[in-house]
């Protein structure tokens, strides 16, 4: 591993973990009786709070300055194993109850720890060898806490540009609050809830929250139905966009509105006009792989009361075809379009903004491993995709893992820059889903050949799942057929 290759995920992860450890030490030195909680990922870094302490700009600045001192001191970071009971004692003395609970229920006699001077903690994965290796960072006030800003992927010598994304942050915070209310803030307390037989309760409450949110979004659309004619739904891979669109459609029907789906795939340009990527391959994820003028023309015709013939795209010949499918909007009809570019203003730039209602869907989990190890939303979605690809698409875990970096690159380019354009956001994450996904993903990950280039990533995901208590088959059976997770594991009452 090249520890300075911050443009690769294998270089960024150890760098970010080391930064987290530096922040932990800074908090321990300045506020020894307080607890650092790194809650969830933000576009520019990690959101954190020091529990029981108001994070004023002055305190955030003091922490940043102390971090600089620790970095400049170039403390060596040593990795070691510690006796289980001793590790639990240290975690509890640091008020890291989630961490202590995971250690206590792990079933192993030792705990892997990292040491930086007199600061001892544990993290999941490799660290850099010394604090002097993490010179590029920032710490800024954010919401009620702070954001640990990490190096930019494009230019690792600079920190990531901080762009206010209040809608995404509010969704993360809402989910974090619900995790706390349900007493399942981290893997330790979630494991405790499952061993206490609370799985069914967590499933029911999580699904009820989703149902409530679907209804809220449908009601928002209904309130603007005198002007809104087009609902646009976007989100990254394995976010549950299809289920989200179907559930919102159901609630619109309850509100006496008839949703009609327009499939964006039918508006691809002819194959010979498809843009090519830097490797000379067809770039089907480019916005300009779609025939934007024709799409906008047909939408405007529909909104003007005209009847149109819906195209079909033949993926074999790479040409648009027509099969006599005609459409005219009636009273109470509304169009729904789902796709990666749905929130990009250029997709429907000839349609008045007041006629659009935009929805962003993603699995924005705020469930953490423990106090200072958050769960990556990307990992959550990758596990979903591994399960679904194997179950429905005949794609093995190795192929899914190897394709994931290019999927992520497409999301960063085509989806994430437009997420704040949404009128409503749907968080498809469910508190109980990681224990459920473990049942399906663990055997698939174990099947990856040790000689495969996907093996290190499969091993990392297995390490992450190791300490999580899985749902039982009987508990999984209580997941309703309308759940968004049925899109990935099967048993849904919807057709996909």
CATH number of the domain to which 150 belongs: 3.30.980.10
6 pLDDT more than 80: no
Q: Which of these three, 164, 188, 210, is where a domain ends?
A: 164
> What would the pLDDT profile of 13-70 be if each residue is shown by its tens digit?
899 999 999 999 999 999 999 999 988 888 789 999 999 899 999 999 999 999 999 9
Q: What is the pLDDT of residue 171?
A: 86
What mean pLDDT is predicted for residues 224-251?
A: 94
Q: Are residues 203 and 344 in the same domain?
A: yes
More confident residue, 64 or 1: 64
Task: State whether 229 and 347 are in the same domain.
Answer: yes
- Read off the pLDDT of each residue in 430-457 and give the average, rounded to a whole number: 96
Tell whether 102 and 183 lie within a shared domain.
no
Burial label for 55, CB within 10 Å (0-12, 13-18, 19+), is middle
* Rounded average pLDDT over 135-159: 91
214-to-118, 416, 428 alpha-carbon distances in Å? 49, 22, 10
The 10s digit of each residue's pLDDT in 86-144 is 999 999 988 899 999 988 887 788 899 999 988 999 988 889 999 999 999 999 999 88
Is 432 inside any structural domain? yes
How far, in Å, CA of 231 to CA of 258, rounded? 12
Mean pLDDT over each residue of the chain, to the nearest integer: 92
The H or E element containing residue 264 is none
Q: Quick one: 157 and 27 in the same domain?
A: yes
In angstroms, what CA-CA distances link 187 with 50, 64, 101, 402? Answer: 20, 29, 9, 27
Average pLDDT rounded to a whole number, residues 175-186: 83
17 plus 93 within the same structural domain: yes
* Side-chain half-sphere exposure of 390, counting CA atoms within 13 A: 20
Per-residue pLDDT band at 146 (split at 50, 70, 90): very high
**Range in 43-47, 297-301, 310-314, 376-380 with the lowest mean pLDDT:** 43-47
Calpha distance 359→341 (Å, rounded): 12
Residue 211 located in a structural domain: yes
- Whether residue 66 is found in the same domain as residue 203: no
Same structural domain for residues 111 and 144? Answer: yes
User: Global pTM?
Assistant: 0.88
Q: What is the largest CA-CA distance in the chain?
A: 74
Distance CA 103, CA 188 (A): 8
Task: Name which of 171-185, 327-341, 359-373 the model is least confident about.
Answer: 171-185
| Residue 319 forms part of a structural domain | no
Same domain, 234 and 363: yes
Q: CA nearest 296: which of 339, 262, 245?
A: 262
Q: How much of the chain is in helix, strand and coil states, percent to nearest 5?
A: 45, 20, 35
d(CA 269, CA 200): 48
131 and 15, same domain (yes or no): yes
How far is 444 from 465, CA to CA, in rounded Å? 12
Q: How far apart are CA 342 and CA 428, in angstroms?
A: 18
Give the distance, in angstroms, between the CA of residue 93 and the centroid of all CA atoms in the same chain.
32
The DSSP element (H or E) to which 395 belongs, if any, is: none
Question: Under DSSP, is residue 71 helix (H, G, I), strand (E, B) or coil?
Answer: helix
Q: What is the pLDDT of residue 3?
A: 47
**pLDDT at 433 (0 to 100):** 95
Please state, for a pLDDT cut of 90, what percent of the chain lies above it: 71
Domain span including residue 337: 176-257+332-489
Rounded Cα distance between 419 and 426, Å, is 11
Instruction: Give yes or no: residues 241 and 156 share one domain.
Output: no
Q: Is the separation of the CB atoms in 188 and 367 below 8 Å? A: no
- Judged against a pLDDT cut of 90, whether residue 181 lies above it is answered with no
Q: Name which residue leads in pLDDT, 173 or 152.
A: 152
Task: Return the pLDDT at 2.
Answer: 41
Give the end of a domain, one of 164, 185, 202: 164
Residues 345 and 473 in one domain: yes
Do 193 and 52 fall within a single domain? no
Residue 299 belongs to a domain = no
Contact 341, 234 (CB under 8 A): yes
pLDDT of residue 4: 58
Which has the closest alpha carbon to 136: 10, 9, 22?
22
pLDDT tens by residue, 315-326: 889 999 999 999
* Overall domain count for the chain: 2
């Amino acid at each position: 591993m090249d520890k300075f290759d911050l443009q690769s995920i294998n270089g960024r992860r150890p760098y970010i973990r080391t930064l987290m450890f530096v922040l932990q030490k800074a908090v321990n030195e300045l506020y020894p009786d307080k607890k650092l909680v790194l809650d969830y990922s933000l576009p520019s870094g990690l959101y954190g709070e020091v529990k029981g302490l108001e994070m004023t700009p002055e305190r955030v600045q003091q922490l940043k300055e102390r971090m600089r001192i620790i970095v400049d001191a170039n403390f060596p970071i040593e990795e070691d194993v510690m006796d289980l009971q001793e590790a639990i004692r240290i975690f509890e003395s640091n008020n890291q109850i989630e961490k202590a609970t995971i250690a206590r229920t792990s079933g192993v006699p030792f705990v892997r720890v990292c040491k930086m001077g007199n600061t001892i903690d544990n993290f999941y994965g490799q660290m850099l060898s010394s604090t002097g290796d993490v010179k590029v960072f920032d710490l800024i006030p954010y919401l009620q806490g702070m954001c640990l800003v990490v190096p930019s992927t494009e230019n690792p010598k600079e920190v990531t540009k901080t762009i206010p994304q209040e809608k995404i942050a509010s969704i993360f915070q809402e989910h974090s609050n619900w995790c706390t209310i349900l007493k399942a803030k981290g893997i330790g307390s979630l494991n405790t809830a499952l061993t206490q037989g609370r799985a069914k309760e967590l499933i029911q409450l999580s699904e009820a929250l989703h149902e409530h949110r679907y209804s809220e979004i449908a009601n928002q659309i209904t309130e603007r139905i005198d002007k809104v004619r087009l609902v646009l739904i976007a989100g990254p891979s394995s976010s549950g966009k299809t289920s989200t669109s179907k559930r919102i459609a159901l609630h619109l029907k309850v509100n006496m509105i008839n949703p009609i789906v327009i499939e964006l795939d039918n508006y691809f340009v002819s194959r010979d006009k498809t843009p090519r990527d830097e490797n000379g391959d067809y770039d089907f994820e480019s916005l300009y792989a779609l025939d934007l003028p024709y799409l906008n023309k047909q939408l405007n015709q529909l909104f003007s009361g005209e009847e149109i013939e819906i195209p079909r795209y033949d993926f074999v010949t790479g040409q648009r075809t027509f099969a006599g499918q005609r459409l005219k909007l009636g009273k109470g009809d509304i169009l729904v379009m789902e796709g990666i570019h749905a929130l990009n203003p250029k997709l429907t730039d000839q349609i008045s903004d007041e006629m659009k209602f935009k929805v962003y869907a993603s699995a924005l989990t705020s469930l953490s491993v423990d106090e200072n190890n958050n769960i990556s939303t990307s990992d959550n979605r990758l596990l979903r995709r591994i399960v679904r690809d194997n179950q429905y698409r005949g794609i093995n875990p190795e192929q899914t893992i190897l394709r994931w970096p290019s999927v992520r690159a497409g999301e960063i380019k085509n989806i994430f820059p437009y997420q704040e354009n949404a009128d409503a956001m749907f968080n498809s994450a469910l508190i109980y889903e990681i224990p459920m996904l473990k049942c399906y993903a663990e055997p698939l990950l174990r099947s990856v050949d040790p000689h495969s280039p996907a093996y290190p990533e499969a091993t990392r995901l297995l390490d992450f799942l190791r300490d999580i208590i899985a749902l039982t088959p009987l508990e999984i059976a209580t997941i309703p057929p309308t759940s968004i997770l049925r899109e990935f594991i099967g048993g849904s009452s919807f057709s996909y």
